[in-house]
Amino acid sequence: MSIQDNAEREPRKARGRPRDWDDKTEQNTIKSLDRAMRVFEFLSETQGKALTSISSETGQSPATVYRILVTLEGRGLVEFNTEEQLWHIGPRAFVIGARFLRRTSLVDRARPILRKLMETTGETANLGVQKEDAVLFLSQVETHASIRAFFPPGSLSPMHASGIGKALLSEMSDERLERLIRSADLEAFTAKTITDLENLKNDMVAVRKRGFSIDDEEKNLGMRCIAAPVFDVNGEAVAGISVSGPTSRVSSDLIEKLSRPVMEAAQELTLAIGGLTTRPQV
């Protein structure tokens, strides 16, 4: 049997990636494409830039930048405003981004982030979203410790007495916050539960300022939770990530230390779903 016959009988398997996939050295990168992507990413972060500004701020010659922009313009990824003489991100970029969002699952993207958060803090990590006037828990990675918080997927918790709920409430306008509170009772679960609207508003100001919320035994005595919001492509808070555990481990003097990995996890998930890590300017 000839080599050719054998090849015909055994069709070559399609490869998802080449053998040198992990080799990111210069020989395996396309310099011109890398330069083009640098210009494209820079332009996507601005509201319009002149050719000379793009050139100086990306460290490339005006001629090179112009060729890149014209090429991207041909694909609809950027567009040129003749009146302003400024380059903007194009509509095709939104189409491509929307395709990414369609394949992005919040829960799937969150799982490895939650697991890392649990391993970093040693406490149970949670993912939740707003469902009407409550927090709906979607995913959880439990701590290995014997005493732990438990919020199985599908559990509901009042917004005003939940770390994730308060993180989401802090991103609402006063008007929306008041409407939501009026439709729900500020039920007292413990002596520490906030049951007054003005006190809740003041707490939301503090949450927004520091970047994380605290459920300080407000739902269950002996349990404390630290949470931060996750933002979508419009800069709106669509979910929250938290760690929760007994006050004996999540002590008051450890709140600041534990808040850092929580906020980092929330930011990582925001980026993973294509969200904005900084609030859009109004």
The pLDDT score that the predictor gives to residue 18 is 53
- pLDDT tens across 64-80, in order? 999 999 999 999 999 99
In a domain, 281, yes or no: no
Reported as a single tens digit per residue, the pLDDT across 42-63 is 888 777 899 999 999 999 999 9
Q: Are residues 138 and 30 in the same domain?
A: no
> What's the rounded Cα separation, in Å, for the pair 97 and 85?
26
Q: What's the structural domain count of the chain?
A: 2
Q: Higher confidence at residue 160 or residue 97?
A: 160
Q: Report how far residue 260's alpha carbon sits from residue 122's, in angstroms, rounded to the nearest whole number.
A: 14
Domain boundary among 58, 80, 99: 99
Distances (CA, A) of 188 to 118, 172, 199, 234: 29, 22, 13, 34
70 and 194 housed in the same domain: no
User: Are 196 and 128 within one domain?
Assistant: yes
**Domain with 57 in it:** 16-99
pLDDT value of position 2: 46
CA angle 129, 130, 136 (to 5 degrees): 60
The predicted model scores a pTM of 0.67
Q: Which residue among 99, 128, 161 closes a domain?
A: 99
pLDDT tens-digit series, residues 32-46: 899 999 999 888 877
pLDDT band at 216 (very low <50, low <70, confident <90, very high): very high
**Cβ-proximal residues to 120 (8 Å cutoff; 6+ apart), any chain:** 261
